[in-house]
Amino acid sequence: MLIATIAVIIALAIFIIGTGYLVALYNRIVRRENEIDNAYGSIEANLKKRHDLIPNLISSVKQYMDYESDTLQQIVELRNMARSDDLSTKKQEEIESQMTQALDKLMVQVEDYPDLKASENFIQLQQSLNEVEEQLSASRRFFNSAVKQFNDSIETFPGNVIAALFDFSSREMFNAEVHEHKTPDVGSLLDN
């Protein structure tokens, strides 16, 4: 009788500790999933900031450059496409990557327009754009870090058991290159 009681107590203790551990693990996975959403929200906020800057940038640039230039047209088109609601994440990623390249190209073209380079309004816009680009890069890095932690937690034991039970699945990281190295260098403009 005593042995049976001890066995029941031990079994109960194991059950309570085990359940507690699994609940804690589940909560940790949920927190990590929420962090991914939080990071994604931060990317979207920075993309919106970038989209909001583009009309001002275009209006500032077109006073000096030919508005019909391919680059300006491409930036405007990409911005309009990026603002559509029914875009998949992958498509959005592609559009934003193309926009980054188009903006870089624009900054190279600006080098041929000394008046534009010296324009106070343009310099401020470019500084804001640099800032947004780096914040975007930071939020993508945060997103990738959150995805890595989440994937690690659901792909290793016993997280994979919880993941199977509650239907958690691996997330994809952003493949877009870290933009920081390609940040348009306004330093050369300021040196003038």
- Residues of this chain that interact with another protein (CB under 8 A) are 35, 39, 42, 124, 126-128, 130-131, 134-135, 137-139, 141-142, 145-146, 149, 178, 180-181, 183, 185-187, 190
Query: Residues with Cβ < 8 Å from 17, sequence gap 6 or more?
Result: none
Closest CB to another protein among residues 119, 139:
139
Min separation Cβ 160 and another protein, Å = 21
Nearest approach, Cβ of residue 107 and another protein (Å): 11
CB 117 within 8 A of CB 189: yes
| Residue 31 or 90 with smaller CB distance to another protein | 31
Token output for 116 = 């534009």
Q: Give the shortest CB-187-to-another protein separation in angstroms.
A: 5
Nearest approach, Cβ of residue 183 and another protein (Å): 7
Q: Do 169 and 45 touch, CB atoms closer than 8 A?
A: no
The pairs formed by 188-192 with CB atoms below 8 angstroms and a separation of 24 or more are: 189/117, 189/118, 189/123, 189/126, 190/123, 192/114, 192/117, 192/118
Closer to another protein by CB, 38 or 80: give it: 38
Residue 78 or 100: which CB sits closer to another protein?
Answer: 100
Nearest approach, Cβ of residue 47 and another protein (Å): 13
- Closer by beta carbon to another protein, 43 or else 99: 43
Least distance CB 182 / another protein (angstroms): 12
Per-residue tokens: 55 = 């009309």
Distance of CA 29 to the CA centre of its chain: 20
Distance from C-alpha of 42 to C-alpha of 85, rounded to nearest angstrom:
17
Residue number with CB closer to another protein (78 or 125): 125
Residue 14: how many CA atoms within 13 Å on its side-chain side? 6
User: For residue 150, which of 168, 136, 135 has the smallest C-alpha distance?
Assistant: 168
| Pair of tokens at residue 34 | 């929420």
